[in-house]
Structure 1
Amino acid sequence: MEEADRILIHSLRQAGTAVPPDVQSLRAFTTELVVEAVVCCLRVINPDVGSGLSPLLPLAMSARFRLAMSLAQACMDLGYPLELGYQNFLYPSEPDLRDLLLFLAERLPTDSSEDADQPAGDSAILLRAIGNQVREQLAVPWVPPLLRTPKLQQLQGSAPQKPLQTSRLVLPELSSRGESREFQGSPLLLPPPAQVPQLAERAASLLECHTVQLCQHAHHDCPGDEDWVHRAARLPGQEDARAQRQRLHKHLAEQLHQTWAHLGPPAPACDLGEQLQAWGAGTRTGARATKGSRFTHSEKFTFQPEPKAQTAQASDVPASQRPQQDMLAAQEQELESLREQLEGVNHNIEEVEADMKTLGLSLVQVETECQQSELSTAEREQTLRLKSRAVELLPDGLANLTKLQVVVESSAQRIIHLAGQWEKHRVPLLAEYRHLRRLQDCRELESSRRLAEIQELHQSVRLAAEEARRKEEVYKQLVSELETLPKDVSRLAYTQRILEIVGNIRKQKEEITKILSDTKDLQKEINSLSGKLDRTFAVTDELVFKDAKKDDAVRKAYKYLAALHENCSQLIQTIEDTGTIMREVRDLEEQIETEMGKKTLSNLEKIQEDYRALRQENAGLLGRVREA
Structure 2
Amino acid sequence: MADVDERWTTLLENPEEGGERLQKVLNESAAKFERLEGKWKAMRDEKMGKLQELKEKYSSALEIENLREKAQTVRGKRKALIEEMQGKEQYIEKLKRRLEKLESDDCNRGMFTKRITEIVNNIRKQREEMDKVNKDILSLHKEIRWLSQAVQRTFGVIEEQLYREANQSYKGERSYKLFSKIHACCQKAMHCIERSGQLAKNVEELTDHAEIGRQSTVDTRLYQVLTDLEAVEAEKERFKEKIKENDANGFKCDCERTFFSYTELLYYRHPDEEQIYGFA
TM category (shorter chain) comes to: 0.3 to 0.5
RCO higher in 1 or 2 (8 Å CA, sep ≥ 6)? 2
What TM-score, normalized by structure 1, do the two folds share? 0.17
Structure holding more helix per residue: 2
Q: Which structure is larger by alpha-carbon Rg, 1 or 2?
A: 1
